[in-house]
Amino acid sequence: MGEIVFVGLGLHDERGISLRGLEEIKTADSVFMERYTSLMPGLSIRHLEEMSGKRLRMVSRRELEEENGKTVLESAKHGKTVLLVPGDPLIATTHVTLRIEAERHGIKTRIVHGASILSAVIGLSGLHSYKFGKNVTVPFEDENPSETPYNVIAENNKAGVHTLCLLDMKEEEKRFLSIHEALETLLKIEAKRKCGAVTMDTLAIGIGRAGSDKPEVKADVIRDLLNHDFGTPPHTIIFPAKLHFMEAEALIFLAGAPEKLRDTAT
């Protein structure tokens, strides 16, 4: 039996891969890559193939989830197989099932970590990492939008912890939920629920293209964020709870928050 090495690609382009991750590709017998769990707007497959000297084979959500990763598992039976994953493998993605299935069949697995959106947006905002609660994904709106994101924000705020909201994407349709769309969806739920969790006066932090050379980071009340241009995706939102005074200072200087935010911090 061979092995499967899950390699994180980082956040924005092929330069985000670690040196160790690049070495794993170079010594692999087969290299697969998925792009459906996160958007890497600056990624060049050609450049990554030139860097590694290996041809990359794309695998779809259907192959990895509906078919239980059969293609990757079969490859790993005959040698070292690398699966390239945006971000940090098995953190903000859903490949744990594949890893369990591999181990169940006697195929060893390893992980080469990469930069994660979970830590990147916290660092960009300047908020304290230990003050984050449960994170949640805001899905595309349909006729009956899910109220789960709203509930998580409300529960975290009540507990005094921040909420990280990842925004939905449909890579195969080239659709990526924007900060504006996500806020509009949450405001509609607020209008129905009237719990005060997400109002026009709620402070939020919008982040565009974390991991790129020019990320866009803006903290303000939702009323003003709705008019802010965050540029191209991917986008992320943070709903902070009660702020420490150093967090308030960070948002003012790093995210352009109003200076009156100091008055609400402790």
pTM: 0.93
DSSP lists the bridge partners of residue 208 as 216, 235
Confidence at residue 1, expressed as pLDDT on a 0 to 100 scale: 73
Q: Does residue 157 sit in the same domain as residue 103?
A: no
> Looking at the structure, do residues 90 and 70 belong to the same domain, yes or no?
yes
| pLDDT value of position 221 | 98
Mean pLDDT to the nearest integer, 213-231: 97
19: domain CATH number is 3.40.1010.10
Are both 154 and 233 inside the same structural domain? yes
Task: State how far the Cα of 69 lies from the Cα of 64, in Å rounded to an integer.
Answer: 4
Domains identified in the chain, total number? 2
Question: Is 90 exceeded by the pLDDT of residue 191?
Answer: yes
Q: Which pLDDT does position 143 carry in this prediction?
A: 61
pLDDT digits (tens, 9 = 90+) for 49-62: 999 999 999 999 99
Same domain, 138 and 260: yes
Last residue of a domain, one of 112, 133, 167: 112
Q: Count CA within 13 A, CB hemisphere, residue 52.
A: 30
Shared-domain flag, residues 48 and 107: yes
Q: Is residue 92 pLDDT above 80, yes or no? A: no
- State whether 166 and 47 are in the same domain: no
Q: How confident is the model at residue 22 (pLDDT cuts 50, 70, 90)?
A: very high
| Domain's final residue, options 61, 87, 112 | 112
- Same domain, yes or no: 129 and 244: yes
Domain boundary pick from 69, 93, 112: 112
- How far is residue 166's CA from residue 118's CA, in Å, rounded to a whole number? 9
**Do 153 and 252 belong to one domain?**
yes
Same domain, 255 and 129: yes
Residues 206 and 148 in one domain: yes
Contact 219, 121 (CB under 8 A): no
CATH code, domain with 257: 3.30.950.10
Residue numbers of the domain that contains 181:
117-264
Mean pLDDT estimate for the chain: 95
- Of 38, 137, 136, nearest to 84 by C-alpha is 38
Mean pLDDT of 42-47: 96
